[in-house]
Every structure is written in structure tokens, then in C-alpha cells.
Chains A and B, each alone.
Chain A
Amino acid sequence: MIKVTYVAQDGSATTIEAEEGTSVMQAAVSNDLDGIVGECGGSMMCATCHCYVDEAWEERTGARSADEEEMLEGAAAEVTGRSRLSCQIRLDPSLDGLVVHLPEEQL
């Protein structure tokens, strides 16, 4: 199991243990975490699973793809250099302990 911590706007943190191979979006949704919607189910169609990767983890989560970059343009909250679609971050052992921050809004 891989631990992921989601930090909400108010600073409250929730840590979820997810199976390898699931996405950061899926782990959040299947644990009923507020703050990630994931409306299209991970098809890169909706930009409602936007998150900001914590600075310490930026390099390990890798770069966003061109398509991801474009879909992020439709995100509801501000997009920064650390913005990702959480459906595009697959969990593997190297991401155990990952910290992501949640945007103010997703819709």
C-alpha cells in the first residue's frame, strides 16, 4: 500500500493508503475525500481532479503531458507550475508518502 496525503485549503490533511497502480484521483474518490471530483473517471476530459504536487515531490511525480497541460487550462482554480490532473499520477512505491495540495474549487 502507498500512502498519499491530501492537504485541503484550510490546512487539514487526510492520509489515504492506496493500492499500487491506482491514480491519486482514484484513491481520493474511492475514499470519499472532499476536494477531488474526477467527473470523467480519469479520461482526461474534465479537469475536476486538479491538485498541486507538494514541492518536495515535484520531481518524482514527473512532468505533465501535453494533453494534460491543455485540459488544465479548463481547471476552475488557479493553475501553477505544480498543477497536475491527479488522475494522471499513478501510484508506485517511489511515491509512498506523496503529498498533494487541493485547490479551492474544482467546478
Chain B
Amino acid sequence: MSQPGVLILGAGQGGLQAAISLRQNGYAGPVTLVGAEPGLPYQRPPLSKAYLLEGKAEALALRPESFFTSKAITLRPGTWVDAIDRAARQIRIGSEMLPYDHLILATGTRNLRPPIAGLERALDLRTLADAAALRMALADPQRIAVIGGGFIGLEFAAVARKLGHEVSVIEAAPRLMARAVSPAMSRHFEHWHRAQGVALHLGQPAVAVDEGGVTLADGTHVAAGFVLLAAGVRPNSELAEAAGLATGNGVTVDAGLRTSDPAIFALGDCACFPDPRTGAPVRLESVQAATDHARLIAARIAKGETADYAALPWFWSDQGDQKLQIAGLAGPETTEEVVAEGVVARFDALGLAAVETVNNARAHMKARRMLASGSAAGLAALEELIAA
């Protein structure tokens, strides 16, 4: 008798990793990966970096088509799921019902659309299709305005500037990457982008987009031939919410990455999970979290493992020749210490929370190991480690 098996909603890097890890862990039942986008699952990080420069879409594929056949994983691209019927343990796609024993939500995020008049004129940078359209737009010299001074907006700005375009970045917060990095690191990147000739407008939200550019709250008009929207994302949690699962900042899961329904897990950018270090609910937008979540969920389903999620978060952002690496996760209530040139430590009530480095893989890896070991580390220990 055939069993319903595992159904994964979302064929991004996390969803695909769940399918890979299920098979690696010996799961023999049916595995189905349902994705809204066309084609094979692909890597998203290069879309705002290498892909814009080189345009090699084939280099982005995470696995060849043969993988899905050889591992007996059913891939259903270009497919929209309409509803989850938890009572019947099935999902609905149009008039079709697909059953499951375990459901994994890996639905990711989409662009946040702030209330800005004329925003429909702006381009997005979330998907391969978005990036392909942007690449076309970059073929001729342009005046470009980027709404949002976070990782993606700044990575894009660095590439566009390198290609010779006139680039302005508009950020509502008073500093760059304010949610992700310390004020000291924001300043470093502020100086760097300005030195490249990027015009930065900080602390001024965009209020309108028109054919000539973007108007800011203080009335400034930033001239631009095209506008990129990169002002953050929102989790795709509507299906979960409609199915009555606990949601808030994404789909709420416990330390075992289970939603409020034990047959349903959530992972990656759409999942809000307890930070192993502080217990505070967090939602991370990173390849690392998505793939580490996927491995834990697969081990739970395939082997009945019960360990809680404990992976150390890490992030990176390549902006021109500046490689930013972050080990650990710092909440809003932190103090910062500049440990060395391009190395910033962030502390909270529990001690060392995160270490940010620029072009310093050595310090990054040392900090990563130190933080992963779980030992309570102070500034002196970190300084000693970095100096060693």
C-alpha cells in the first residue's frame, strides 16, 4: 500500500535541501517538492551579485533534472497551492488534492511593498525572472534609484555602480543595514559606498515613484530612469494562517521546527523559531538557516531524531570587494566594540552575541567556532583569539 509521504511546499534552497536530506537519511516514502516558480530549484544569493554581472542562469541550478529522477523526488514547478486541509492531511492545487504524512512549509518571502505612490513602476529582485529583467535594464547607462539600504539593495548598488551607472540608495532608517549590523559596520559601508560614487539618502523614506525618479519625505527628488525596490521582505505565511496554524512574524514553530500542527514543519525565511541562544522568536533570511533547518526536519522525519535546533547563524554579503561576514545573531539591544580594523563584536545581556568582519575570513571563522562552542565569551577572550 502506498503511503502519502512528505510534501514540501516551496522549492527554494531550503525546500530542496529537505528533499535531499530525507533521501540521505534513508527516507524511502514518496517525496514531493511543489514550487511556484518555473524550472529547477536554483540558488538565490548570486542573483544580486555574480548573476547580474555574468548572466549565467545555468550556473545557478542546485541540482540537475536527473537528480529528481534518480532520487525519486517528484518536482512540481510552476504550481500554486490553494489550501492546506489539515484534518484530511492534504493540500489542494486547483481541483487536485495531494495527501501527506508530513508537510514542510518552505514558502520563503516576497518583497515588502511599503505604501509608496507609484511603486508599481519599481522593479523587484527576488527571483531569477526579476534578476533577468534587471540585467536587461542594466545593458544601457542608467540613472538608478534603489529603495532600501539593506543587503540586497546595497549588493545591487555595488554591481550597478561597477557597471558605470549612476546609483542612488534611499534608506528610511538613519543608517545602512540597520536591522542586520552594528552602527560601526553601517558607517564602514556608508563610507565605502560613498567612495564608489553611490549617492546615499539616509533617514528619508521614499513617498512616491514617478517616471522621473523618486520623491522623498522631505521633498527631495532623486532622478532615476529606473527604480529597484529592495525595502525588505515579508514571509509567505498566508496558507499556514488560513489553515489555522500559529503565525505572527512568519509561521511559528517550536525548537523542533514544528508548527502548532505536529504533522507540519516550517523552515527557512518563512519560519519564526526560538533562537537557541536567547529563546527569543527569530526569523532569519539566510541560506544557512534554511538548509540547517531542512537537515534537522529531515532527520526528525526519517530517523525520529528529537534534538532541538541549535545551529549557529551566519550570514554574508558581498558588496563590491567588501566581503561582510557575520557569525552569530545580535538583537536590537546590543552594545558594540571595535575589536580590530574591520572586526566588530556585539554584546547583549548574555555576553558575546555576534561578530561582524569585513574581508577577514580568519577572524570570522575563529569567531564562528568560538560562538558555536557555546562557551560564554567576553571581549578579552575574543581579542586574544583574533590576535593569536
CA–CA, A66 to B46, complex, Å? 23
Q: Does A43 contact B (CB under 8 A)?
A: yes
Q: How far is the CB of A1 from chain B (nearest CB, A)?
A: 15
The answer to whether A73 and B61 have CB atoms under 8 Å apart is no
CA–CA, A66 to B287, complex, Å? 24
CA–CA, A61 to B290, complex, Å? 33
Contact-size category for B? 20 to 34
Q: Which residues of A contact B369 (CB under 8 A)?
A: 73-74
Q: Which residues of A contact B45 (CB under 8 A)?
A: 40-41, 43
The answer to whether B361 and A44 have CB atoms under 8 Å apart is yes
Q: How far is the CB of B24 from chain A (nearest CB, A)?
A: 8
Q: Which residues of A contact B295 (CB under 8 A)?
A: 107
CA–CA, A55 to B323, complex, Å? 32
Q: Does B373 contact A (CB under 8 A)?
A: no
Query: Contacting chain B: which of A2-10, A26-34, A88-96, A97-105?
Result: A26-34
The answer to whether A39 and B291 have CB atoms under 8 Å apart is yes
The answer to whether A29 and B365 have CB atoms under 8 Å apart is no
With both beta carbons as reference points, the residue of chain A lying nearest to B363 in the complex is identified as A70
Interface size on A, residues (CB 8 A): 21
Q: Does A63 contact B (CB under 8 A)?
A: no
CA–CA, A44 to B46, complex, Å? 13
Q: Does A71 contact B (CB under 8 A)?
A: yes
CA–CA, A26 to B369, complex, Å? 26
The answer to whether B365 and A40 have CB atoms under 8 Å apart is no
Q: Does A67 contact B (CB under 8 A)?
A: yes
CA–CA, A73 to B316, complex, Å? 17
Q: Which residues of A contact B63 (CB under 8 A)?
A: 29-30, 32
Q: Which residues of A contact B288 (CB under 8 A)?
A: 39, 46
Q: Does A45 contact B (CB under 8 A)?
A: yes
Q: How far is the CB of A13 from chain B (nearest CB, A)?
A: 19
Chain B interface mostly: helix
The answer to whether A45 and B62 have CB atoms under 8 Å apart is no
Q: Which residues of A contact B291 (CB under 8 A)?
A: 39
CA–CA, A21 to B369, complex, Å? 33
Q: A30-B64, A32-B66, A40-B287 are in contact. Are A70 and B365 (CB under 8 A)?
A: yes
CA–CA, A83 to B190, complex, Å? 37
Q: Does B100 contact A (CB under 8 A)?
A: no
Q: Which residues of B contact A32 (CB under 8 A)?
A: 63-64, 66-67, 70
Q: Does B133 contact A (CB under 8 A)?
A: no
Q: A45-B316, A67-B361 are in contact. Are A74 and B46 (CB under 8 A)?
A: no
Q: Does B116 contact A (CB under 8 A)?
A: no
CA–CA, A40 to B366, complex, Å? 18
Q: Does B32 contact A (CB under 8 A)?
A: no
Q: Which residues of A contact B61 (CB under 8 A)?
A: 30
CA–CA, A39 to B20, complex, Å? 13
Q: Which residues of A contact B46 (CB under 8 A)?
A: 41, 43
A–B pairs, 11, beta carbons within 8 Å = A29-B62, A30-B64, A32-B66, A41-B43, A41-B46, A43-B46, A44-B361, A45-B325, A67-B323, A71-B365, A74-B368
- Starting from the known contacts A29-B62, A41-B43, A70-B364, 7 additional A-B residue pairs (CB-CB under 8 Å) come to A31-B64, A32-B66, A32-B70, A41-B46, A41-B287, A43-B46, A45-B325
Closest 3 CB pairs of A and B: A70-B361, A70-B362, A32-B67
